[in-house]
Every structure is written in C-alpha cells, then in structure tokens.
Amino acid sequence: MTGTTESGLSSEADTKKVSYFRFWILATLLLLLDQVSKWVIAELSGFRMGLYPPFDGVEVIPGFFNIVYAINHGAAWGMLEGYGWLLILLAFVVLGLIAFFRKDLGFEQQANQWCFGMITAGIVGNTIDRVLRGHVVDFLDIRLPGYQWPTFNVADSAIVVGTIWYVYLQFRPAKK
C-alpha cells in the first residue's frame, strides 16, 4: 500500500528504487547460453536433425543422456504444434504480465529475481527461435527406463527450474 506523509510527500519506503541487476544479469547470461548452444547444435555440430544414437548425436551417459539435434514446432511435448504465432503472442503477453506485476511477484527479493531471470530468459530464448527459425531447437535427450523424455534445451530448463523454484519460495515456511 502506498502512503504519503502529512506533507503529501511519498514515504521513504515508497520512493525506494528496486534494483533489477540480478534479474538482468541472469536473464542475459542464460539467454546467451541458450542461443549459443542452439547455434552450435544447429550450425556446427554436423548432427543430422531427428536422428538419435546410435545413428547420430553423441551418447554422453550410455542409456540415459544424449546430445542430439531435434526441432519442435510447438511448445512442451509438441503441444500447440502449428500454432507458432499463438506461442509468440503468448510469450509477449506473459513477459508483459511479469513486468506489470513485478511488485506483486516480489521482484524486490533477490531469490525471486533469480527465478524470473530464468523464466524470462527461457521465454525469450524459445521465442527468438520461433521468430528466426520457425521452430525451437532442442538437443538434450534423457531416457528413463522404458521412457524417452521429450528432448529439450537450455531455455526449457530455465523455465522449469525458475518456475519450480518460485513456487517453492512461495510455499516454504517463513523464517522466524
């Protein structure tokens, strides 16, 4: 709640500027890592798109983790495939909502800035792919016994980790 003193001036707490330095640094670094890693996979790796070990890619941990070259025309698990324009629009709406509600989301707290730095980098990274490539480049392939997890990328990881961390922070017991 914003308040004023008897003289009509804003109180000191209301005029305190929140620094978003941590948010911008983490978002920028993760966005660069995401875009460089996708560029390396798509342009430098020589991997044939859509082929997995033993036919192409690199088996890092046998039977568990591979680095491959895959693309996704949708969102997570291929949802909304063929609706790239909607995913781009949704990305702008979500980024706008994050900016608009930053005070309500607790951006003054360092940990929340880390969370939203990750989420923002992920959203922007995948949106850049959709705009420039027409699809998202994925390359991290995890296989569990009897199940192949959908291939993902740094941006996807940033969104998931940032979101889980933020939810955890909202529900953890308050310090006494």
State the DSSP string of the chain. Answer: ---B-TTSPBPHHHHPPPP-HHHHHHHHHHHHHHHHHHHIIIIIS-PPTT--TTSSSEEEETTTEEEEEEEESSSGGGTTTT-HHHHHHHHHHHHHHHHHTTTTTTTTSHHHHHHHHHHHHHHHHHHHHHHHTSSEEEEEEEEETTEEPPPB-HHHHHHHHHHHHHHHHHHSPPP-
Please identify every residue annotated as catalytic. 138, 156
